[in-house]
């Protein structure tokens, strides 16, 4: 297949490498010309363009079988999100309308679920995001799925889109809570009962490829591992594994959490596993972090700060 990866970065680059290994032809789009050498070394054909600037897309070759939009704003305001996710996706769809791909996969986020009661969340659960950035992601999903206009009809050209709602990504150089734990900066909020939902980068790559192959256009799938884990259980496991103390507790600040859009939910991957037939390499954080700790140890890069006594 001829594939385009828009946002060929943390996830996109190894995704491209894997697609090439599987025999596909891959183009990787990002803004930095400095990344060209890295993409080329991976066998990916680099395209320097900015999805928020429609005119730059003219550099892209015609006709792709598979398109993945995994561009990220790496933080930013709701307006940044609007430009990068919403307008960027609109530009891509418009550019693709004359050359409709076979499948378009978009990596949305589980932040579109605003639940704070620890409930089990499926793709059909209510989506009432707590923060404006997540509202933009939901709007982007609707544009792609053709349900953004009046009476749920899309004013945009249609693409055969599959939405993946992605949980917190961890893996090499990623994993905020893990890094905080290593540096003695982690805190357990209150009793630590809030659930964390995660996915290892390798599994996200597997889910994206499964969605390209088997995802049904117009469908949404949660991309998350098998086991939501409470914050306290996450740190307890790390503490035992690395021979460190449990992080101190800090009272949960509900007002601050509300402003930051902190949610508490257990996101289900049942639909993804049933319909896409994907088998997780790291079905829970213990498997994924065991691999990550071993990798760091072997590289001599596991820097564990001594406990403060
Ligand atoms: N991190 C998480 O836990 C998490 C959770 C849920 C969903 N997601 C989603 O998962 C996807 C993959 O995340 P990631 O960590 O791989 O992202 P990333 O590496 O931070 O960013 C992806 C790439 O997007 C490129 N990019 C940014 N703006 C662009 C633009 N306007 N036009 C073209 N390229 C642009 C960047 O390269 P240049 O700077 O060179 O352009 C970067 O290499 C994203 O869609 C993200 O929103 C992430």
Q: How are beta strands 229-230 and 195-196 bridged, if at all?
A: antiparallel
**How far apart are the CA of 36 and the centre of ligand 1, in A?**
16
Domains of the chain with CATH codes? 2-174+197-227+265-283 (3.40.50.720)
Q: How are beta strands 25-30 and 2-6 bridged, if at all?
A: parallel
Minimum mean pLDDT range among 33-47, 54-68, 148-162: 148-162
**pLDDT at residue 185 tops 60:** yes
**pLDDT at residue 155 tops 80:** no
d(CA 15, CA 27): 11
What is the mean pLDDT of the segment spanning 142-149?
84
What is the mean pLDDT of the segment spanning 149-155?
62
- Confidence band of 101 (pLDDT split at 50, 70, 90): very high
**pLDDT at residue 157 tops 60:** no
Instruction: Name residues contacting ligand 1 (CB within 6 A).
Output: 7-12, 29-32, 35, 50-52, 70-72, 74, 84, 88, 107, 109, 166, 168-169
Ligand 1 pocket check: which of 72, 112, 207 to mutate, most ligand atoms within 8 Å of Cβ?
72
Ligand 1 atom having least distance to the Cα of 9? 43
- Report percent pLDDT > 70 for the chain: 96
**How far apart are the CA of 309 and the centre of ligand 1, in A?**
39
d(CA 218, CA 190): 40
What is the mean pLDDT of the segment spanning 125-132?
95
Cα-based distances in Å from 253 to 195, 205, 265: 16, 35, 17
pLDDT of residue 154: 60
- pTM confidence score: 0.96
């Amino acid at each position: 297949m001829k594939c385009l990866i828009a946002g060929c970065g943390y996830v996109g680059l190894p995704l491209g490498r894997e697609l090439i290994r599987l025999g596909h032809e891959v183009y990787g789009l990002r803004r930095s010309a400095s990344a060209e050498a890295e993409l080329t070394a991976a066998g990916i054909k680099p395209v320097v363009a900015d999805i928020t600037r429609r005119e730059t897309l003219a550099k892209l070759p015609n006709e792709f079988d598979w398109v993945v939009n995994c561009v990220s704003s790496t933080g930013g305001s709701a307006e940044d999100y609007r430009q990068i996710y919403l307008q960027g996706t609109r530009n891509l769809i418009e550019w693709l309308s004359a050359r409709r791909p076979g499948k378009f996969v978009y990596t949305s986020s589980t932040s579109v679920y605003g639940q704070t009661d620890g409930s089990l969340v499926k793709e059909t659960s209510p989506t009432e995001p707590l923060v404006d950035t997540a509202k933009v992601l939901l709007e982007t999903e609707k544009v792609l799925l053709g349900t953004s206009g009046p009476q749920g009809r899309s004013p945009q050209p249609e693409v055969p889109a599959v939405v993946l709602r992605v949980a917190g990504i961890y893996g090499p150089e990623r994993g905020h809570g893990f890094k905080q734990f290593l540096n003695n900066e982690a805190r357990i909020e209150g009793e630590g009962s809030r659930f964390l939902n995660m996915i290892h980068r390798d599994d996200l790559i597997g889910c994206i490829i499964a969605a390209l192959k088997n995802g049904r256009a117009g469908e949404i799938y949660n991309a998350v591992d098998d086991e939501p884990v409470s914050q306290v259980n996450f740190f307890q496991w790390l503490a035992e594994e690395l021979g460190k103390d449990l992080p101190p507790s800090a009272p949960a600040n509900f007002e601050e959490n509300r402003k930051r859009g902190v949610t508490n939910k257990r996101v289900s991957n049942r639909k993804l596993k049933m319909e896409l037939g994907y088998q997780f390499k790291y079905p829970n954080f213990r498997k994924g972090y065991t691999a990550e700790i071993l990798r760091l140890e072997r590289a001599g890069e596991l820097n564990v700060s001594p406990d403060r006594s």
